[in-house]
Amino acid sequence: MTRVIAACLALLLAAPVPLAAAAEETTRIGFVNTAITNLGLTRSHRVVVERFSDPEVAGVSCYISQARTGGLTGMVGLAEDPGRFSLVCVATGAVNVAAGAERGERGELVYESDTSLFFKETRVHRFIDETANTVVYLAWSTRLIDGSPYNAVAVVPFAPAR
């Protein structure tokens, strides 16, 4: 029995844990160390800044900063990262919303990032507010904290279709 548990643990440690998915491409912009762990022998606790683009909305770049847990468990992907983050989306060119972009009150998932080995992610959904000619991005944590998940909102205006 202990050999089976040891084998399962070895597989978990060997499996790479993806940092982000759903967006076509996620680029790490940079990070700052917030606390040194294990006398500097392992990765420190960090705040990481990443950029992603919405595949259905041209001319928009979104930047998300997230806390990342360091130490040995953080290095091997077993640590649970805090569910705190910040989000900003900016127009980097002419903003064009694709005709096939999901509309409606449920929005569409455009980014997700694992923040623990099991059951916790940071997700970003896109909503299109046709009345105000804006694209609204909502970042939220799938972990409930005191009845409500952490969340952040960013809004980018676009020119209405003619």
- Non-local (6+) Cβ contacts of 60 within 8 A are 53, 54, 89, 90, 91, 92, 95, 135, 156
- pLDDT of 2-24, one tens digit each? 443 333 333 333 333 333 444 56
Best-predicted range by mean pLDDT among 21-35, 59-73, 92-106? 92-106
- Please state, in angstroms and rounded to a whole number, the distance separating the CA atoms of residues 124 and 139: 4
pLDDT of residue 21: 40
Give the chain's mean pLDDT: 77
